[in-house]
Amino acid sequence: MQDYRANHRIRARDVFLVDASGQKLGVVSLNDAMAAARQAGLDLVEVSGNTNPPVCKILDFGKFRYELAKRDREAKRHNLAAKVKEMKFHVNIDPHDYATKMRHAEEFLWKGMKVKVVMAFRGREMQHQNLGQDLVKTIRNDLKLVGLADADPKLIGKNITMMLTPLPVKKRVRRWTTEEAEGAYEEEAGENGAPEEAQDTPEKTPSPSSTPS
């Protein structure tokens, strides 16, 4: 978030003053601008320091910083939402590898990213598409506490694909991971205080489909 000068931190001798209602009062001395801000019971904030003289506005500096921080969080959230992480699976995936991928997928969704699940078939595995469909549905169910499928899994070429979109922040619940994800709580903690604790890692890892013959 950009650092704005306010009150006695403003260095200019003269400023272009805008009052609390948005009315432009023109160029005045810094002392007069400070006096006007005190009379209004507000702060004098340098909102544009690149002009000569700098533009200063009379406002509530605390509220001003809160709104800026809120916009920054919204922008970060939208940037994360635009990111898509691809997770590739095979029908004969090892249970340990499956659990590892679940942890990664949950972490991405927890941070607000979309996850594209790709079930890739190799060679004769195409004869057992039902196993792939079943595994994709298992993945969808195992991640339902943090993400929701945009649509049913689709077969495209030799792959079954499914896109998962994160649930709203307050509805996400950890299942596969317990450590706090960096930035995961920013929006919630910034406005509502401390985040909820993560859920415990499940005791038993679901077994994916066996290798087709």
**pLDDT tens digits, the chain, 213 residues: what are they?**
577 889 989 999 999 999 998 999 999 999 999 999 999 999 999 999 888 999 999 999 999 988 888 888 777 777 766 688 999 999 889 999 999 999 999 999 998 899 999 999 988 888 878 899 999 999 999 999 999 999 999 998 899 999 999 999 899 999 998 755 444 433 333 333 333 333 333 334 444 544 443
Q: What is the mean pLDDT of the chain?
A: 82
Dist. CA 78–CA 153, nearest whole Å: 25
Q: Report the pLDDT value the prediction gives residue 81, as an integer from 0 to 100.
A: 60
| Burial (CB count within 10 angstroms: exposed 0-12, middle 13-18, buried 19+), residue 133 | middle
Beta strands in 64-205 (DSSP E): 84-89, 114-120, 147-149, 154-156, 159-166
Distance CA 114, CA 40 (A): 47
Q: How far apart are CA 166 and CA 148, in angstroms?
A: 6
Q: pLDDT tens across 143-183, in order?
A: 999 999 999 999 988 999 999 999 998 999 999 987 554 44
Kindly report, residue by residue over 61-76, the tens digit of the pLDDT. Answer: 999 988 888 888 777 7
| Distance from C-alpha of 204 to C-alpha of 131, rounded to nearest angstrom | 21
pTM value > 0.85:
no
pLDDT value at position 178? 77
What pLDDT does 119 receive? 93
d(CA 180, CA 170): 15
